[in-house]
Every structure is written in C-alpha cells, then in structure tokens.
C-alpha cells in the first residue's frame, strides 16, 4: 500500500489545495483558508494519496480525525482506508459521498457538525413574523447607536485586531479556541481572500463578520465578533453582512454548532432554509456482521448506497423509490434499526424497525430481491429483529395478503379480536 507523507500547512500550499478543490466534485465547505487558520489549534497535517489530498486533525494523539478526501472519487479512498497505524475516524463526510459507499463500516450522522444554510435575500430583508424579534433588536440598535457599516479593508484591518484582543480580555477568554484562528485570518486577510463587514460607533469598531466563498453562490461566514454591551450587535452584523453579499451570493453557510446548546439555539433562531448534513465513520473497518452463511451476509446499518437502494426497491416494485427517493433514504437513516443483506456487492434485502424502546416496535419494510427470495434471507432478517426486540410487548407489522403465511410461521398472528386501522397515502406498504 502506498505510504503517506504528512506535511504541516503553510501559505505556500494554497495553490496545491486549490488544484484539488477544482478536481473535487463535492460541494462542501472546505477551503484552504479554513484549514490554514485552524492549523495550530487542530494540528492540521496534509498528504497527497492516490490523486487525492488528505487533511487530518491530529490534535488528539493516536486518534486522528480525517476529513473527506479532496479529489475525483473520495468514496473510493474512504472505502479502501488509509495506511495509518493508529486509530482514526473519517469526519464531516458529505451526503453525496457517504451514499456512494457500499456498507462496510459503522456510519452515523454527525449532528454536531451539521451546517446551517440561509438564503441571503431572506437574511437581508428579514420579512415575516418569524423575524419579529430580530427586527426589533436591529431597530433598537440603530435607534440607540448611530453607526457606520463598511467593508473590511487594509485601512481598517488593524481595528479588527484591537477588537478581538479587547473582546477576549473582556470575556476572560485569552485562550478562546477561535481567537488564534481569527487573528490568523486577520493577519492574512487579503492573501486568503476573506471578505466581510464591520460596524463602527463613534470611530470605534464594535463588531465584525468575516467569511469567504466556498463555491459560486455560497458564502461561508467563518468568524463573527462584537461587544455584547451594544445590545443587538450580533443580529445587526448578520443582517448587514447579508445586505453586503446581495447580488453576489445566493446562500450563507453559518457553519456548525459543535453540539453547544446555546450556540445551537442561537443558530436555529435564524430559521435556516436548509442544512448541510455530515457523517462520520471509523477509519479502520468495523464490520457489524449480524449474520453470515453461504448465501448472504447481513449487516446492521442505517446508511446505504443510493444506487443499491434504488436497484433493490425497483426490483421489488416499490414505487416510493421513484416517487420520493429522499423520503425513503431519510426513513431508513432515521429508523431505529436497519438490516441490509448482501450477496457480494449486491444489496439483496432490507428490513427496518421503529420502536419506543420498551413497549412497541413496528417493522415497516421487509423486502428481498425477487432473484433471492425463498432462500431464507427474509426469515433470517426477521429472526434477528425479533431477537433484538424480544423485550417489547407489541411487535407490529402490516403484511400483504400473500405473505401472511410467511409471518405466521415466525410467530406473528392476525389482529383478531383487534382491528388494525390506518390512513394510507401510498401504494406501498
């Protein structure tokens, strides 16, 4: 296996990174500037590997966090793994890449790194009842503090230094995690192609917002700082940044909340129009085989390959895969348990479960590819499910008429004397 040669990031590496960004088909929020400004805090290292660029957070010894590879087929690098001796995890993997993988590792949603996306025009206008509180803060700010909003330039960049220094001292946070990256961004503001606005009150800078273009149409706000004694400064900063970006960008990505409750609440209060979903998985294969024989291997996995799902459901004539594929993928990923049966690299069966964890479990889907039916695959998946949920008082499913004999053989009965009732909006079960 090809070896990795790791390097520390320098400003001279920007051209190399940009070359890989251009070849990468994924639209993620990675930029050289973000990697570079966080290089000290995250101990970032990079390596070229099989025509891809690999960047790793090495701040935790023997447990590296490796970002999605930059290049034409990151899924192939993730699937194969890296020649790293110690434990490592793949982190912040985008949805498009993760759904190209054939399941072989434990994949999970990375909620703490989910990014918040807003429409620029909406943040600039703040129309509608949902923005009443934000408009009131902004209105009171402008009434109380006659201010000037200007772009950040070489002429005022030093005022940003003064603000971040005074802000960290005021908050007693000289070692604040993002103070060094912000200072680095300010020091290399123009070299790294940052852009942003700042707010002055009586010739004193009281706040600034800095970001950069992630890709055409998408601006990422990286840093936002202001003096909180000026009530409403943060709503003003975001609103003014949106006004400044109008006509050049359609969306603002305000990055993740890192699982911090207060930050999550604050970000949600701006009513995101969408989210950039992130995933994580162990770098070393962590195969969750729950059953294996000569016919099939069954894994427990909630995240599956898009094309494999489509092929299986179409073969079984389930129309939902063509009508609303995103709903199907969402339902599987948010099920409590999903079993996937594989014959080599072909997905031949799926079973999922929804449960309250104690009293009731519902089995919405049990499907097996027509070419692999009557081989015991469906029975094996249901037996695994019934064993896992043996403690639940009620085990519920809805069966097609021609499948009732199958379910009765593994312990299910009809509803008599009870009556099963439903509101059905789909031709599929």
Domains of the chain in sequence order: 7-113+278-282 (3.40.630.30), 115-255 (3.40.630.30), 289-409 (3.40.630.30)
Q: Are 119 and 250 in contact (CB under 8 A)?
A: yes
Residue 329 has pLDDT above 90, yes or no: no
* Residue among 298, 404, 316 nearest 367 (CA): 316
**Mean pLDDT value across residues 273-292:** 84
**What is the pLDDT of the chain when averaged over all its residues?**
92
**Residues 282, 279: Cα–Cα separation, whole Å:** 11
**Residues 132, 136: Cα–Cα separation, whole Å:** 6
Residue 254 has pLDDT above 90, yes or no: yes
Alpha helices in 200-286 (DSSP H): 233-245, 261-268
| DSSP secondary structure letter of residue 301 | -
What percentage of the chain exceeds 90 in pLDDT?
74
Q: Which residues contact 138 (CB under 8 A, 6 or more apart)?
A: 126, 232, 235, 236, 239
Alpha helices in 148-305 (DSSP H): 157-170, 179-187, 233-245, 261-268
**Per-residue pLDDT reduced to its tens digit, 343-366:** 988 999 999 999 999 999 999 999
CB count, 10 Å around CB of 238?
A: 21
pLDDT at 107: 86
What is the per-residue burial (b if ≥16 Cβ within 10 Å, else e) of 112-146? Answer: ebbbbbbbbbbbbebeeeebeebeebbeebeeebe
Strand partners, 109: 279
Q: Which residues contact 389 (CB under 8 A, 6 or more apart)?
A: 353, 355, 361, 395
**Per-residue pLDDT reduced to its tens digit, 164-181:** 989 888 877 666 667 889
Angle at CA of residue 48, ends 44 and 54, nearest 5°: 45
**Mean pLDDT value across residues 271-275:** 96
**Per-residue pLDDT reduced to its tens digit, 399-413:** 888 898 999 999 999
Q: Which residues contact 3 (CB under 8 A, 6 or more apart)?
A: 83
Kindly tell me the burial class for residue 394, based on how many C-beta atoms sit within 10 Å of its own C-beta (0-12, 13-18, 19 or more).
exposed
pLDDT at 163: 95
pLDDT at 182: 92
CB count, 10 Å around CB of 347?
A: 22
Helix (H) or strand (E) holding 309: helix 306-315
Radius of gyration (C-alpha) of the chain in whole angstroms: 26
Q: Which residue has the higher pLDDT, 333 or 104?
A: 333
**Residues 412, 383: Cα–Cα separation, whole Å:** 12
Q: Which residue has the higher pLDDT, 83 or 421?
A: 83
């Amino acid at each position: 296996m090809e070896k990795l040669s790791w390097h520390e990031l320098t400003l001279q590496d920007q051209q190399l990174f940009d070359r890989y960004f251009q070849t990468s088909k994924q639209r993620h929020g990675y930029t050289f500037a973000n990697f570079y400004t966080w290089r000290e805090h995250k101990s970032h290292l990079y390596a070229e590997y099989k025509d891809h660029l690999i960047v790793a957070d090495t701040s935790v010894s023997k447990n590296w966090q490796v970002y999605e590879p930059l290049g034409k087929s990151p899924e192939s690098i993730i699937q194969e793994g890296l020649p790293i001796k110690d434990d490592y995890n793949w982190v912040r993997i985008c949805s498009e890449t993760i759904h190209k993988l054939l399941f072989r590792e434990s994949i999970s949603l990375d909620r703490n790194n989910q990014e918040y996306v807003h429409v620029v025009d909406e943040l600039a206008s703040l129309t509608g009842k949902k923005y009443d509180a934000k408009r009131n803060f902004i209105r009171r700010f402008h009434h109380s503090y006659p201010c000037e909003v200007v772009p950040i330039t070489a002429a005022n960049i030093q005022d940003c230094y003064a603000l971040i220094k005074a802000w960290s001292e005021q908050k007693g946070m000289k070692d604040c995690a993002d103070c060094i990256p912000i200072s680095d961004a300010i020091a290399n503001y123009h070299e790294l192609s940052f852009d942003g606005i700042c707010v002055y009150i009586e010739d004193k800078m009281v706040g600034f917002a800095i970001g950069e273009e992630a890709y055409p149409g998408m601006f990422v706000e990286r840093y936002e700082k202001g003096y909180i004694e000026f009530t409403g400064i943060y709503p003003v900063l975001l609103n003014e940044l949106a006004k400044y970006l109008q006509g050049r960008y359609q969306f603002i990505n305000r990055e993740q909340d890192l699982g911090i409750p207060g930050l999550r609440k604050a970000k949600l209060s701006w009513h995101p129009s969408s989210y950039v979903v992130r995933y994580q998985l162990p770098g070393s294969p962590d195969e969750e085989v729950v059953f294996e024989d000569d016919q099939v291997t069954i894994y427990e996995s909630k995240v599956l390959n898009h094309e494999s799902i489509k092929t299986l459901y179409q073969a079984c004539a389930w129309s939902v895969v063509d009508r609303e594929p995103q709903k199907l993928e969402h339902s599987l990923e948010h099920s409590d348990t999903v079993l996937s049966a594989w014959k080599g690299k072909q997905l031949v069966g799926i079973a999922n479960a929804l449960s309250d964890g104690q009293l009731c479990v519902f089995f919405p889907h049990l499907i097996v590819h027509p070419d692999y039916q009557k081989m015991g695959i469906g029975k094996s998946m249901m037996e695994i499910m019934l064993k896992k949920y043996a403690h639940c008082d009620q085990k519920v499913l809805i069966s097609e008429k021609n499948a009732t004999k199958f379910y009765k053989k593994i312990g299910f009965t009809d509803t008599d004397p009870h009556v099963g009732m439903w509101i059905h909006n789909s031709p599929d079960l």
